[in-house]
Structure 1
C-alpha cells in the first residue's frame, strides 16, 4: 500500500507539507489533500478531508 502522505514523499513539499488548513484554520498541520473548497482548489488537512467525504459540516 502506498504511503504518499507521510515520510519520504512529502520532503519535497514546502515546509514538509505543513501549514494552515484553510477549512479548520489549525496551524502547523499536514495539508496534503487536494480538495475543492468554496470553488477554489486548495490543500486541506486529513480530518477536514474525512469530514467533507462523510458529508459533515466543518
Structure 2
C-alpha cells in the first residue's frame, strides 16, 4: 500500500476520528475501536481502553 493512502479513511470522519475517550477521559485521541455496553449500545474508545474491564465501559453515560 502506498504511504499516501494510509489513514485516508480517517479524513471522512468528524475531527479525523479524534475526540475524548469516554473511559479514560484522554483528550484529542483517536476513537476507532467500538466496545459494546451491557444494554446493547456501542461506544467508540481509544486503543488503550479496548481491553478495559466491562464495568468501566458500562459506567459511561449517554
* TM-score of the pair, normalised by structure 2: 0.65
Greater C-alpha Rg:
2
For structure 1, the 5+ residue unaligned runs are: 1-5
1:11 aligned counterpart, secondary structure: helix
Q: Which has the higher strand share?
A: 1
Aligned equivalent of 1:47 = 48
- Deviations 1:1-58 (Å, cap 9, x if unpaired)? xxxxx61011111000000000000000000111124534110000101x33xx5x86
- Looking at structure 1, the residues matched to 46 and 16 of structure 2 have their Cα atoms a distance apart, in angstroms, of 13
Q: Which runs of 4+ in 1 moved over 3 A?
A: 37-40
Q: 1:29 to 1:21 in 2, by over 3 A?
A: same
* TM-score of the pair, normalised by structure 1: 0.68
For structure 2, the 5+ residue unaligned runs are: 1-5, 57-62
